[in-house]
Amino acid sequence: MLGVGGMSDDKIIHFNPWRDFNDAAPLPDPFAVEPDPAQIARFVDVVFGYSEGLIPVRGFVDKGQGKDGRPHNIWIDANGAAPDKLATFAAWGAREGAAVYVIPGTVAETGQARAADVLQMQSVVVDLDAGNIPAKLDHLVHHL
């Protein structure tokens, strides 16, 4: 049986549905995304496993979020510590609501990140989000 919610001195029962019936387990927040260090390590291995130099990484809040902020750029040595450093930066991005972009090639010096600065790249990067995507995909599959 339900117990008395709370009775005042004048015999009026006060009912608070949030306190009295809100005992369900909280649902996980679908937007509370945490970076996965294992997936980040796999990404770093696939994209930079045989590369030397610095990995340029950018973190910034996308337009439209109503937040102002300057980009945060870091350069990570392409070595065994890179996955942990990138995971730390991704965790910062998740906390701050910032997107984290990794340039898929290495550069020689801090401050470099333009296409002309890339010294090594061990992956083929393709952007398939416009036009005749099935035809473009078929072309890639045929030639790769």
pLDDT single digits (tens) 101-132: 999 999 999 999 999 999 999 988 888 888 99
The pLDDT value recorded for residue 139 is 93
Could you give the angle at which helices 37-48 and 82-96 cross, rounded to 10 degrees? 130
**DSSP label of 11:** S
- Apex 114 CA angle, 139 and 91, nearest 5: 90
- Distance from chain centroid for Cα 100: 6
The pLDDT value recorded for residue 95 is 85
The pLDDT value recorded for residue 64 is 66
Helices and strands counted in the chain (H then E) = 4, 3
The pLDDT value recorded for residue 34 is 86
Of residues 30 and 52, more confidence is placed in 52
The pLDDT value recorded for residue 1 is 45
The pLDDT value recorded for residue 20 is 54
- pTM surpassing 0.75? no
Each domain of the chain, given as residue ranges in start order, spans: 37-143
The pLDDT value recorded for residue 19 is 56
**DSSP label of 59:** E
Q: In 1-144, at which residue ranges do the beta strands (DSSP E only) sit? A: 54-60, 72-77, 99-102
In angstroms, rounded to a whole number, what is the distance separating the alpha carbons of residues 33 and 25? 19
Q: Which pLDDT tens digit goes with each residue over 55-112? A: 999 998 877 666 677 889 999 999 999 999 999 999 999 888 888 999 999 999 999 9
Determine the residue type at 134: P
